[in-house]
Amino acid sequence: MKKIFVILSFLFALQTVSAQLFSKEKILKDANGGKGTLDNNLLRWGYFLGFNNYDFNFDYNQNLGDIQVLKSVGFNVGLIGNLRINEFLDLRLEPGLIITKRELNYPSSFFQGMSFNPNDLIREVRSTYIHIPLLLKISTKRVSNLKPFIVGGFSTTLNLSSNEDNPDDNSVGQFRTKTNVFFYELGFGIDFYLSNFKFTPSIRGVFALNDELVKDLDPNSPWTSNIKSMKTRGLFINFTFQ
């Protein structure tokens, strides 16, 4: 599913780039309905819709095998506040709601010397993030009605589904994660200038800086004792309208 979205995004971008660069008529759009060039505004606002694909990166205390993460496509929605620094630099705040789900499949080697049933090898991790990134957008010079850019920065999230304060743990089927996680982010995209707005497809990777796992009460828990750290990493495909 993720590959389909990536391919469609690139095909759309390539088709639009080809039309903009090789068309005989170069009609520059101001993306503001004839009311002035949108890029010249000090502050700009917009919103985004998109998709995500989240994973976990594990570090272990002992080599007992790998926890397999079954990923699924999630949904992104949020707002954009853009502060223009100059022609090539913008500072962006993009608060949004991120919904995703991951399934952890444990190897039986984590349960050496213990009795277990098949359900013990599976833990579902549902996450609903309030995601707040502060990003620096670095653009190239505008070419006709498009402008490529790269973007990077840092973000913080509030996981509304973390269960961090839940007294129950994996012994009764509750997999717990931390409420607050910090990330760094890197990505790229292309601004397309249309008659009445600016449309921007972008791809961005997000990488956690801190461990997200909440350990079980039992220090010898088969679900958490061998995990040294568990850090989220993910991919965003966003479509922005300004």
Residue 238: closest CA among 170, 191, 197: 191
Q: What is the pLDDT of residue 103?
A: 96
Please state the rounded mean pLDDT for residues 159-184.
92
Residue predicted with more confidence, 152 or 194? 152
Residue predicted with more confidence, 29 or 145? 145
Percent of the chain with pLDDT over 70: 84
Please state the rounded mean pLDDT for residues 190-208.
93
Band the pLDDT of 97: cuts 50, 70, 90.
very high
Q: What is the pLDDT of residues 4-23, one digit of tens each?
A: 444 444 444 444 444 444 44
Please state the rounded mean pLDDT for residues 213-241.
95
Q: How far apart are CA 34 and CA 90, in angstroms?
A: 22
Across all residues in the chain, what is the average pLDDT?
87
Q: What is the pLDDT of residue 145?
A: 87
Go through the domains of the chain in sequence order and give each one's CATH number. 2-241 (2.40.160.20)
Q: What is the pLDDT of residue 41?
A: 84
Question: How far is CA 62 from each of CA 66, 82, 227, rounded to the nearest angstrom?
Answer: 10, 46, 8
pLDDT above 70: residue 1: no
What tokens were used for 84?
């223009």
Question: How far is CA 236 from each of CA 5, 10, 154, 172, 213, rounded to the nearest angstrom?
Answer: 10, 14, 14, 33, 22
pLDDT above 60: residue 224: yes
Enumerate the β-bridge partners of residue 45: 81
**In 10 A of CB 201, how many CB atoms?**
19
pLDDT above 90: residue 195: no
Q: How far is CA 27 from the centre of its chain?
A: 35
Residue predicted with more confidence, 56 or 40? 56
Residue 200: closest CA among 68, 52, 12: 12
